[in-house]
Amino acid sequence: MKLASLKHGRDGRLVVVSRDLTRATDAFIVVPTLQQALDEWERCAPALEALAEQLEHGSVPSFRFHEHACAAPLPRAYARRHAAAWPGYPALLRQAAGAEAPAGEAGGLRHAASDAFLGPRDTLSADDPAASLDLSAGLAAITGDVPRGADAAEGAIRLVTLLAEVIRHDRLRPDGLDLDGADAPALAASLGPVAVTPDELGAAWRDGSLHRPLLVSRNGKALGCPDAGADLGRSLVALVAEAARHRGLGAGTLITAGPVSNRGIDGGPGRPAEEGGAGYACLAEARAAEALTAGWARTPYLTAGDRLRVEMKDAGGHSIFGAIEHDVSS
């Protein structure tokens, strides 16, 4: 099934969305918010699945679904752990910076902010021109309760959606930490309009991850379409298991990974989308590839007036999660 949270208060109003993303029905008769549904998943999921089926058959009152009316599926979550799960990205950034890989670094999971996800169509502010702002696109898994040391991480993922993070590159060290040794410098993050249960993803969901190209564009022009199932260091399911190694995860934990990054045929930087390559899922990787191949980074960071769009389509060309689309204001 497909679930979304319409903008309403701090936690949104849960709706069940049709497979084709055109219609929705209120989930309030089952549960008012997605966090509460995750807290009581065993009770709520069957009732929500029944609503989803009725919605497909037109046997329940429904209304037109508008992605711009959405908050993030979880507007605020109690936990998020993030990993650079596609190793091509950090490797390329380090190579462009002439930096060594930090000792022991392995794209480890970091705690990341989860308390204020932007809506998928909210405007981004680029009010600090020195910040070298980037949008980094990836995936998010929303888990149920996962006991510490769980082996059965496969069944722990309740929902999957898109992720887009606003990163300040002027504050980024090669090891992914902020210059002052504090947080990774994500200023904000958004999730796809719709979160989808893994069973809904069909053959694209296998080996613990999602195997479809992630379509990223800027001002209508493709930045990249790297395959989220290719060149993946660790799957979403492997990341959930790693996150639960030393402490359990609570229902509604987000395990996020990004940016998606495909290597070139020679194992080096992928080629730009405009040259027929898979391109990039963030501006920094495009810039690093340009710096290494052409000697200078041509692609500018986020600029007022930009429109960034992130989407993933199924094998039939239909949008799976709806699109994240942010206009950048000054």
How near is the Cβ of 286 to its own copies at its closest, in Å? 24
Q: Rule CB under 8 A: is residue 181 a binding residue for its own copies?
A: yes
Q: Does 175 bind its own copies (CB under 8 A)?
A: yes
Q: In terms of C-beta density within 10 A (0-12 exposed, 13-18 middle, 19 or more buried), how is residue 102 classed?
A: middle
The Cβ-side half-sphere exposure at 78, using a 13 Å CA radius, reads 14
- Whether the CB-CB separation of 309 and 325 falls below 8 Å is answered with yes
**Through-space distance between the first and last CA atoms of the chain, rounded to whole angstroms:** 38
Do the bridges between strand 254-257 and strand 133-143 make them parallel or antiparallel, or are there none, so unpaired?
antiparallel
Tell me the two tokens of residue 277. Answer: 């390559």
**With binding defined as CB under 8 A, does residue 115 bind its own copies?**
yes
Q: Among residues 22, 28, 63, 111, which is the contact residue for its own copies, using CB under 8 A?
A: 111
Rule CB under 8 A: choose which of 51, 77, 124, 215 binds its own copies. 77
Q: Which of 19, 49, 66, 108 binds its own copies (CB under 8 A)?
A: 108
- For its own copies, the closer CB: 241 or 323: 241
Residue 165, judged by CB atoms within 10 A of its CB (0-12, 13-18, 19+), counts as buried
- Residue 109 touches its own copies, criterion: CB under 8 A: yes
CB atoms within 10 A of CB 88: 25
- Select 55 or 186, whichever has its Cβ closest to its own copies: 186
If one asks whether residue 100 binds its own copies (CB under 8 A), the answer comes out as: no
Q: What is the spatial distance between Cα 292 and Cα 38, in angstroms, rounded to a whole number?
A: 45
Residue with smaller CB distance to its own copies, 77 or 91: 77
> Of these, 50, 112, 201, 292, which contacts its own copies (CB under 8 A)?
112
Question: Cβ distance 56 to 18 under 8 Å?
Answer: yes
- Residue 87 sits in the site that holds its own copies (CB under 8 A): no
Question: Quick one: which of 7, 8, 66, 110 contacts its own copies (CB under 8 A)?
Answer: 110
Q: Assign 163 to helix, strand or coil.
A: strand
Closest to 280 in 3D by CA, of 161, 135, 131, 121: 135
Query: Is the Cβ of residue 104 or residue 295 nearer to its own copies in the bound state?
Result: 104
Q: What six digits make up the tokens of 310?
A: 């992130």
Q: Verify binding: residue 114, its own copies, rule CB under 8 A.
A: yes
Nearest Cα residue to 216 out of 258, 169, 176, 264: 258
Q: Which of 32, 87, 174, 250 binds its own copies (CB under 8 A)?
A: 250
**Which among 177-185, 198-206, 261-269, 286-294 is the span making contact with its own copies, rule CB under 8 A?**
177-185
Kindly list the residues in this chain that would bind its own copies in the complex (CB under 8 A).
Answer: 10, 39, 76-79, 81, 83, 102, 104-106, 108-116, 168, 175-185, 187-188, 246-250, 253
